[in-house]
Structure 1
């Protein structure tokens, strides 16, 4: 067995299956691949799986190499994205946000008498997932429950986390020694939705105070390749254009608008931060294009809601606070960008509730979900969230492939 690697691990060549198991690295309750587990499970620790971000100017390009590994993107092109980070001293706020979330989870767990340590590991920067797994193993823990810092279904927001955990298990030599399950996607859990309800209600009130009388709400999330979006979620659901990724966002947005009593306020789902070549179709409309079109519809105000994000990381600070707000100003619109969940008490409480779901094997009918799409699966279904370019890599917490 090797120690934590101190770097992003290479792709795994296989995913360890226990005798008779259908799900790699799974606890006995999840090993046969149920949609929702029905057997209580005693976990030893929690793995908080983050995206990661640079914490200094020298980190920026190595970090972006990790994010784009396997795509053959030259450093000159990476430097174009690096300017966003360099604008903030080369420091992404995402690691600090995860430190705050880790501390908030630990406080909530302790307050509720749940004795589970929280280990934090990132996919793309220090501390890496392999280091977190090694630390947990060295402390004597053998069964972990992962919380990914992403709420929705797609390759980049779910399956890639599951693949990276499989990569880490192989890189550390801990495949076969550690069991790692993952909580369900929580896009429509009340703990995730409530902070956005609070934020949108506040944003609408702010624009009214500023004198806006014809407001539109733009729910923003990260754009992804259209081909990947079509394959997000299990194929058998047939959720239409944009797959589960778009359907989940739209369902949550409607819940938020209904919850704040804004049924008569127009809204739309928009996308940001596309990074693919112009020849590759990605989800649209872009947030800036949508903002630019608002005055023609008689709008004088816009509420920008970062619905796809857990915290105010770089793509919120740059793409929304900088570019989108600048676009709104150029078109004479009153504008406000509302908060992400961050460490909102309802969000932190909700994450611990998700942990308890798995510990107690809460029946699906008793699990809270604010949309008709949920509660989502404990164990991802076969063929879920394929990356068209890469295919299916070994992954935990899901039926193969």
Structure 2
């Protein structure tokens, strides 16, 4: 299929603190969360700069997603659109605009490279529902794309060398990806959003509790996350003792989420005698609350308590190599 347009799909994030309850209700499929959870998320977003009035440049996730869209648009000869699942511009509204623009076929690319029911599957559902009468090609996952690994390695190497020089040792790298509920990985498990959350004691992911599409096959997400980590390590020239992997930002649902957690891994690294660690989230393509709060504030505080210095690789954001990867996906025959 040779598409007439490209549609980038992203999670979405609120523009102001006052929109948090409405935003979370969209994330959870309409279920209202306790006020304590809303206030906790407002606190975390305030810590990364969100205010009661919209920021001129927008919240980080929106800002960088629109910038990635702009850069891709400049590199292609066909239109590039972007739609968000949980906030404006909504996927359905953007597809409606594509239809009014005369688009008859498009290729959808998730800005979440690892295929998961709790992200990719929900984006697919939203895009499919909106695209009635328009031919859509959906890119399910691109976790092992070499250019993606190169982009992450390009961001990783400078900070890793800095950390090694500062400590006089080979500092371990901790790759991370967003955790998901264990039940979403099991084939044939019914969807549910009935878990009753309590006030969290660990970082809350902005995408909290989600519905998902259970199918007859296991979710590929954990394997794809680790495959991305392996490829980034290879691209950066890291050896096996140099790096570790953990899932971050476990949610507040009553059921367990997949691990190992970052907190557990930091404790293990400290116990092994390390004095520092470099973190790189390889499941995210730009800055947002799980990076700017969970890593830069919460995990850094945890590391300090354990006697670890913590560095973080810069997010991909407007990485030229990332844009190359998106161009490759957009133009593949």
Distance between the aligned counterparts of 1:347 and 1:193, measured in 2?
A: 9
Change (3 A) 1:69 1:155: same
Distance between the aligned counterparts of 1:54 and 1:217, measured in 2?
A: 31
Q: Superposition pairs for residues 74-223 of structure 1, below 5 Å?
A: 74-87=34-47, 88-90=49-51, 92-109=59-76, 115-169=77-131, 175=132, 177-223=133-179
Out of 15, 25, 37, the residue aligned to residue 65 of structure 1 is 25
TM-score (norm 2): 0.84
8 Å CA contact 1:195, 1:340 repeated in 2: no
Offset of residue 320 of structure 1 = 0.6
Distance between the aligned counterparts of 1:104 and 1:70, measured in 2?
A: 34
Distance between the aligned counterparts of 1:143 and 1:188, measured in 2?
A: 26
Kindly provide the CA deviation profile for residues 100-122 of structure 1, in whole angstroms up to 9, marking residues without a partner as x: 0111101121xxxxx21111211
Distance between the aligned counterparts of 1:123 and 1:107, measured in 2?
A: 24
1:245 maps onto 2:210 in alignment: no
Distance between the aligned counterparts of 2:312 and 2:216, measured in 1?
A: 34
Offset of residue 308 of structure 1 = 0.9
Distance between the aligned counterparts of 2:32 and 2:19, measured in 1?
A: 19
Offset of residue 72 of structure 1 = 4.5
Q: Any unmatched runs of 5+ in structure 2?
A: 52-57, 188-212
Q: Partner of 2:243 in structure 1?
A: 267
Distance between the aligned counterparts of 1:296 and 1:218, measured in 2?
A: 15
Q: Partner of 2:283 in structure 1?
A: 308
Out of 270, 273, 280, the residue aligned to residue 255 of structure 2 is 280
8 Å CA contact 1:249, 1:269 repeated in 2: no
Offset of residue 276 of structure 1 = 3.1
Distance between the aligned counterparts of 1:96 and 1:130, measured in 2?
A: 20
Change (3 A) 1:191 1:264: closer
Offset of residue 269 of structure 1 = 1.5
Offset of residue 64 of structure 1 = 1.5
Offset of residue 71 of structure 1 = 4.0
Offset of residue 264 of structure 1 = 4.9
Offset of residue 159 of structure 1 = 0.5
SS at match of 2:167: coil
Offset of residue 273 of structure 1 = 1.5
Distance between the aligned counterparts of 1:57 and 1:276, measured in 2?
A: 20
SS at match of 2:86: coil
SS at match of 2:241: coil
Q: Partner of 2:54 in structure 1?
A: none
Kindly provide the CA deviation profile for residues 303-351 of structure 1, in whole angstroms up to 9, marking residues without a partner as x: 1011111111111111011111121222222221112322211111111
8 Å CA contact 1:122, 1:129 repeated in 2: yes
8 Å CA contact 1:212, 1:334 repeated in 2: no
8 Å CA contact 1:212, 1:300 repeated in 2: no
Offset of residue 53 of structure 1 = 0.8
Q: Partner of 1:15 in structure 2?
A: none
Out of 314, 324, 333, the residue aligned to residue 308 of structure 2 is 333
8 Å CA contact 1:310, 1:341 repeated in 2: yes
Kindly provide the CA deviation profile for residues 255-293 of structure 1, in whole angstroms up to 9, marking residues without a partner as x: 22233222153422212212233x411111221232133
Q: Partner of 1:292 in structure 2?
A: 267
Distance between the aligned counterparts of 1:212 and 1:333, measured in 2?
A: 14
SS at match of 1:147: strand
Specify the structure having the higher radius of gyration (Cα). Answer: 1
Change (3 A) 1:264 1:69: closer
Q: How many residues align?
A: 301
SS at match of 1:327: helix
Distance between the aligned counterparts of 2:30 and 2:18, measured in 1?
A: 21
Q: Which has the higher contact order (CA 8 A, sep 6+)?
A: 1
Offset of residue 157 of structure 1 = 2.3
